[in-house]
Chain A
Amino acid sequence: MYAIVVMINVGIFVLLALSLNIITGYAGQPNIGQGAFFGIGAYSGAILTGKLGIYFWLAMPISAIITGFIGFFLGLISIRIKEDFLAIVTIALNFIVAAIFQNVKFFGGSMGLSVPSPYWFGNPLSYHGYLILIIILIILVIIFSKLIEKSWLGMALGAIRNNERAADSLGIDTKKFKIMAFVLGTSIAGLTGAVYAHYMTFIMASDFGFLTSVSILSMVILGGNNTIRGPIVGAIILGLIPEVFRFISDYRLLVYALILILMIRFQPSGLLGDDSFVWQKLTNLRASYFKRRGA
């Protein structure tokens, strides 16, 4: 059971890292506020099932839509405000969202919100059920990300990432594509939030603060921005660290920070980014393997 809970925790981070990758990776837009959208999804889900009595399976997509709708506004902002300034706006977003959840009585205020257990054919959803649900979601999001990479949207986003002005001059509607990236990325985070809220059965505003956003971003950067494998590996590594290094208790945070610093210093494109040492080795190996087979 313990292993399953750890896998669910890691799985949730994998989903969040993949969702952020659409914004920071594909579209190249800074976002240190993904935790806020995670929280919006979680609170939407909790209120939909807890206060309005809607089925969890219906509440999940609705939470994604609500979150995507708010992500749309961040997309609008990103048209006017760029780069460093946008990063600061997203940081501020964390604090605004947390403050709203913390202070508005409807959202449970500082007492937090209890969330009812979802049912699956008459039985409360077990941890195994959650794990299967999360794995299915991860597979769907990976397929979705692959589709984006190969579609017009992906190419347009690539152009925006490399040079927004040049993309504009080539007739790409950068505004539209940027907003699309924000809506897609945030709605996946919202969906994850709804699952998380039901899995935890209790949520508080402090669960979705700035630190959560920073961890999600760290996962994407550590693994390799703008790839699918990178965020997955990053989320697994950083998600497992608190559990794996539990035995060194006090030094846990030190190890966490040290790994991040070393990575950024020596492997800025991430552990499995396209320019990284590990990935180059892997591709070389693969190339030589196929060469030998061909010969």
Chain B
Amino acid sequence: MKRKVFSLILVVIMVLAFNSLAMAQDDPIKLGFFAPVTGPAAADGESALNSAKLAIEVINEKGGIDGREVELVNYDDHLDSKQSVSIAQKLTTRDNVVAVVSGSYSGTTRPAANIYQNAKVPMISAYAIHPDIPKSGDYIFQQSFPGPVQGKVGGYMAVDNLGAQKIAILYVDNDFGNTLNDNFQKYVEDKGAEVVYVDSFAIGEREFNPVLTKIKGLNPDLIYVVAYAGEGAAIMRQSVDVGIEAQILGTEGMDSTTQFLQVAGDAAEGLIITTNLNRDSEEEQVRDYINRYTEKYGFAPDMVGASTYDGFMLLAHVMRQVGPDSEAIKDAMYEVEDYMTNTGLLYRYNEIGEAVKPVQVQIVKDGEFHYYDQITDMDIIAP
């Protein structure tokens, strides 16, 4: 009798042990994510979170990573750097994620980057473009092209492509606006164009009539606008009101369907922007992403979402090669070459972790973004 009980116990223990072994193998691979889903940047935060969820869904549909499921661990940072820092600690020490995608702005991503670097967990910044972010260390990558590149491409489009000679600039006063403005101005002035007017505005500004009236009086060929969706829509509408006929050149900040195109309406017709998402791409995965996103959420995705999605897809791509190991992922990221993403062909990451990729130029036609040009000239797009 005693022996029977003993063997029964032994069997139970073995089953349990085997179970836990099998469990360990089937444990989902955890990927961390943070975005400002509430607070002043909630629209971008939500867009990023939507795409993060979709990316995880797609990765798992394709069989996960070597049969293991991928799990999203996501947190809301409320665009507060104190919270992004505690989230970084939580992701690296509590949740033990193998890699992280930031769907947040520069102010929150920058201090968090140090923590990921120290914890040796790779982090991809989806669309925050502060130049210090990739410089935080070798575990930190920037998915979008750096701000200076986009500024230069803006300059190239303005002068070399659109032939502008008299240029007015309006930019949002933060790291994004300043970086782009500095590099744009330098490029166009080197090329001999004249900058007749420069002004900045704060995030949330909605009244541009006085500035636009002044710009109209100066009669520029082109107006370079570095703004986010809300301010951008206001500028487009009011520039029609004051009767500006000059070409307007925008940036990825205005790359939003719900926040920008729907608000600006007809006033956005003819606007050209530099961005990283090509809506008319023939690539199957881009079509797939746009269709699935639209079907799932009821509106078309924007560059914030596409960049976040790419961050996850890139991690999945790398993990399929080297397995879900933080150290190996970091090393493999530097080896990535000519990888097709939603936001164009990623040539490679340079030694400090900045993406080298072409810049898309889109034009608004019939209330939608469409292909206008793609800049692949290495002299301009190499960071």
Contact = CB atoms under 8 A, between A and B. Distances in A.
A112 interface: yes
Contacts of B76: 246, 249-250, 252
Nearest to A109: B178
Interface in A196-249: 200-204, 206-207, 242-243, 246, 249
B72 to A, nearest CB: 13
B89 A110 contact: no
B28 interface: no
B138 interface: no
B86 A252 contact: no
Interface residues of B, number: 29
B37 A249 contact: yes
Contact of A1 (B83, B93, B132): B93
B110 A2 contact: no
Interface string B72-96: 0001101011110110011011100
Interface in A85-127: 102-103, 109-112, 114
A206 B105 CA distance: 12
Contact of A242 (B83, B114, B130): B83
Interface in B89-118: 89-90, 92-94, 106-107, 110-111, 114
Q: How large is the interface on A (under 10, 10 to 19, 20 to 34, 35 or more residues)?
A: 20 to 34
Contacts of B106: 112
A285 interface: no
Contact of B86 (A2, A110, A204, A207): A2
A8 to B, nearest CB: 9
Interface in B117-156: 130, 132
Contacts of A133: none
A249 B86 CA distance: 15
A249 B33 CA distance: 14
A9 B75 contact: no
Q: Which of B106, B111, B132 has the most CB of A within 10 A?
A: B111
A41 to B, nearest CB: 16
Contact of B81 (A200, A252, A253): A200
Given A250-B37, A250-B38, A2 B175 contact: no
B136 to A, nearest CB: 9
Contacts of B174: 110
Nearest to A196: B82
A5 interface: yes
A6 interface: yes
B89 A1 contact: yes
Contacts, number: 70
Given A1-B89, A5-B89, A109-B178, A202 B81 contact: yes
A198 to B, nearest CB: 11
A103 B199 CA distance: 13
B81 A204 contact: yes
Q: Which of B82, B92, B93, B173 has the most CB of A within 10 A?
A: B82
Contact of B114 (A109, A110, A201): A201
Contact of B38 (A4, A109, A207, A252): A252
A112 B107 contact: yes
Interface string B42-77: 000000000000000000000000000000000110
B82 A112 contact: no
Contact of A253 (B38, B82, B92, B111): B38
B228 to A, nearest CB: 13
B85 A200 contact: yes
Contacts of B75: 246
B177 interface: yes
A9 B107 contact: no
Given A2-B90, A250-B38, A112 B78 contact: no
Contacts of A6: 86, 89
A19 to B, nearest CB: 17
A69 B83 CA distance: 30
A215 B72 CA distance: 31
A103 B173 contact: yes
Contact of B132 (A110, A114, A252, A253): A114
B184 to A, nearest CB: 16
B7 to A, nearest CB: 44
B178 to A, nearest CB: 5
A202 B173 contact: no
Interface of A: 1-2, 4-6, 9, 102-103, 109-112, 114, 200-204, 206-207, 242-243, 246, 249-250, 252-253
Given A2-B93, A250-B76, 6 more contacts: A2-B89, A5-B89, A110-B173, A112-B107, A243-B86, A252-B76
11 contacts: A2-B94, A5-B85, A9-B85, A110-B173, A111-B130, A112-B106, A202-B110, A207-B82, A246-B75, A249-B38, A252-B76
A-B CB proximity, top 3 nearest? A1-B93, A5-B89, A2-B89
